Chains A and B, each alone.
Chain A
Amino acid sequence: MANESATKMKPKAKKKKENGKPGVDKRGAEIVIDALEQEGVEVVFGYPGGAIIDVFDLINQSDKFQFILTRHEQGAIHMAEGYARATGKVGVVLVTSGPGATNTVTGLADAMMDSTPVVVISGQVPTALIGNDAFQEADVVGITRSVTKHNYLVKTLEELPILLKNTFHIARSGRQGPVVIDIPKDIQKHTLVNYAYPDKPELPGYHIQMHAPLEKVEQAWKLIHSAKRPLIYAGGGVINADAADELFLFATKANIPVTTTLMGLGAFPETHPLSLLMLGMHGTVYANKAVQNCDVLIAVGSRFDDRVTGKLEEFAPHAKIIHMDIDPSSISKNVKVDVDLVGDVKCILRDLNPFVERCDTEAWLPQLDEWKRQYPLRFVLPDNDLILPQHLIQLIDELADDNAIITSEVGQHQMWAAQYYTFTRPRTWITSGGLGTMGFGFPAALGAQRAFPGRQVINVAGDGSIQMNIQELATAMYYNLPVKNIISNNGWLGMVRQWQDMFYGKNYSATNLTLPARGAALSDASASDWMNAEYLPNFAKLAEAYGCWGRKVTKRGELKDAIRECLAGDQPALLDVWVAREENVYPMVPAGASLNQMIEGMA
């Protein structure tokens, strides 16, 4: 790459396309629109303002992409993330300077953690005012530097085309991630003569290795083949790489069990006998036991997050570790790796699969089956009419379309969705894993719905999280994006309450969302008290205020019908499900404990 780009470093020489076609004269704002079209963008999410008004002036003239006006810039960036995660394409956001740009920061951090390809185009105050504390000025490149894969402040009109090209290329290639391009208002206004959108990025310092060296692939295979208790630990990288088919071939041909991370759900069908479901803090007992007992651990596009490994010194103590990852800095960051395969997992698995034969797992698989029988995920329905959140997810699983896309907010409901929904295909589960951003799920669902208008998109929400971007109900209605919100309403910031319950002596500080007068008496969660409690807002009525279908359900006997009604039809809907208040998510490995120390919950 370095050699190739050696001749293309002079911006002046860029005025003609490589094929010699002369360019045209365009204003900066027109160049932005042209770049979006040339990059194949079909939808842009955003919010206008003075510093980007020149681009907005042109936004409805393109017949190549649709613009979706959100109700908050945070909504816009999570929609772009949801769109990107559902499709694999770059999600695009257009916002103004200052507060417009800073409102995207949480989404940028979220996309950075979860390797989601997103481009944010922000307006900036005119070049001459930069650094003057001008109206709505914020140092966007400074603020976003540590939460982006890369960012640019455009300094001259001449460099705008190539920086736009670079922006998209960086976001979608290698380890995908968010990129910001900040464009001063004067640059949007001025005209560049003889403009042509560049064919190629100019990034002499940017190298991506797609294939791992073949000797290493062979070395990895030898190690796998010699194993008696091999285990595949697949993560979000399999989804990023669209490598679920290659993973399936590898696992089934070699007869090796597969556990996935939260980000990897759907990378391997959970209906398959080799599936051990999720591992880690709230993973299954048998997946974690498999990790602790395996002799070769094959990490495929996963990054040894602390929610997965628990106490590092005691993680997979008997295993040699093979790690496939496109990002060299992921290798041996947390856990010392024995064979590193740096590259794209799709390429690596394609190189590996021809070697693969059936492994000797005859003794190992029955052991795992035994653990599956001994320690299943389970809950016990109470003999009253209370709804259990785990059961709610099971019913959603039962009633949702086969190809439904599930998004989630963050908290207990997210973990139950991960545990009790059966994921069988990639890109059907979109959640905030690395940053754990409450308020992510609903807008992400809208982005996924925009990508796939015909598919069912369900956001599994908590009563706390949903309020963080509830304003996007207006966006759902305005563009008729028929997302189904199902709120597991426990009247608590449940996941935090669970930690207070287990590790802070039940001191429920600042986690009760029911009205204080009555909520205070509710800590024993007597079913009838809770069902009569006052909760703000009344979600069903709030939905109705937006013109959206809304319903509240409190009784198990009515739940199935309520879900059916919610999922039916082609309109946005919100179902407020009042669940047992103080259920905890089990199994659980306490933070920092070893995977051997699982708390199983119910005796």
Chain B
Amino acid sequence: MMRRHIFYVLVENRSGVLARVAGLFSARGFNIESLTVGETDSPRISRMTIVVPGDDKILDQVRKQLGKLIDVHDVRDFSMETHDIVNRELVLCKVNAEPSQRGDIVEIANIFRARIADVSPQSMIVEATGSENKIAGLLKLLAPYGIIEVARSGRVAMARGNNESIQNARAVA
């Protein structure tokens, strides 16, 4: 059965690590739906959030193969469907906006708790953070105005509560 898992991966903050992780996926023909990387509270450790679609066998191999990489300190993964995870993405959307349409667009943005990041004579940039559904909903409502450009950050995620946390501190001094 096809499912989607969100992997968080703590990796050594060395050059080449991203290539190693990405190479693992391409070499084995696994898909990546979204991948983000950022520093953690420790400068030696980065955190990747990777959304991977696949059946149980593929997800199992992804987990094991990631765990095998020497630069990977820890891997956790959660089913997007069943786990209680906070899952966020940032999106910037440039949309056609004649002066007369600005009010409507601001209203839409407000409903989604999005911000207006820029206003130009013919367009606006709407900035939103949220779950996949929220972003999809926003884009759907903006579409009729004519979307010029969309940039998405890729997802970052975290499980609720303490039990499932990766302790960054455990791996570093």
Contact = CB atoms under 8 A, between A and B. Distances in A.
Interface in B1-20: 10-12, 15-16, 19-20
Interface in B27-49: 27, 44
Given A6-B173, A141-B16, A153-B16, A205 B57 contact: no
B164 interface: no
Interface residues of A, number: 26
Interface string A277-309: 000000000000000000000000000000000
A3 B167 CA distance: 12
Interface in A161-214: 170, 203-206
A206 B16 contact: no
B20 A2 contact: no
A6 B171 contact: yes
B68 A327 contact: yes
Given A9-B44, A328-B67, A332-B57, A145 B173 contact: no
B89 interface: no
A3 B170 contact: yes
B171 A205 contact: yes
Interface stretch (B71-79, B128-136, B140-148): B71-79
B151 interface: no
Contacts of B16: 141-142, 145, 153
A333 interface: yes
Nearest to B167: A2
A373 interface: no
Nearest to B172: A9
Interface in A476-495: none
Contacts of A141: 16
B64 A329 contact: yes
Contact of B69 (A8, A10, A205, A328): A205
Contacts of B11: 205
Contacts of A155: 15
A331 B67 CA distance: 14
Nearest to A207: B67
B65 interface: yes
Interface in B144-173: 170-173
A150 interface: yes
Contacts of A142: 16, 19
B61 interface: yes
Q: Which of B15, B68, B71 has the most CB of A within 10 A?
A: B68
Contacts of A332: 57, 60
Contacts of B72: 205
Nearest to B10: A205
B99 interface: no
Contacts of A327: 68
A7 B173 contact: yes
B111 interface: no
Nearest to A150: B70
B12 to A, nearest CB: 7
A239 B67 CA distance: 25
Contact of A146 (B23, B71, B171): B23
A9 B173 contact: yes
B73 A10 contact: no
A2 B171 contact: yes
A205 B20 contact: no
Contacts of B61: 329, 333
A328 B64 contact: yes
A329 B68 contact: yes
Q: Which of A3, A145, A204 has the most CB of B within 10 A?
A: A204
Contacts of A170: 70
Contacts of B170: 2-3, 6
A141 B67 CA distance: 20
Contact of A329 (B12, B65, B70): B65
Nearest to B11: A205
B89 to A, nearest CB: 27
Contacts of B19: 142, 145
A204 B171 contact: yes
A329 B16 CA distance: 22
A333 B57 CA distance: 7
A206 B172 CA distance: 14
A203 B20 CA distance: 16
B27 to A, nearest CB: 5
A287 to B, nearest CB: 27
B76 to A, nearest CB: 14
Nearest to A159: B14
Nearest to B20: A145
A10 B57 CA distance: 39
Nearest to A166: B70
Nearest to A204: B171
11 contacts: A2-B73, A6-B172, A9-B172, A9-B173, A10-B173, A149-B70, A204-B12, A205-B71, A205-B74, A206-B70, A329-B64
Interface of A: 2-3, 6-10, 141-142, 145-146, 149-150, 153, 155, 170, 203-206, 327-329, 331-333
Given A146-B23, A155-B15, A328-B68, 14 more contacts: A6-B171, A145-B20, A146-B27, A205-B12, A205-B70, A205-B71, A205-B72, A327-B68, A328-B64, A328-B67, A329-B64, A329-B65, A331-B64, A332-B57
3 nearest interchain CB pairs? A329-B64, A205-B73, A150-B70
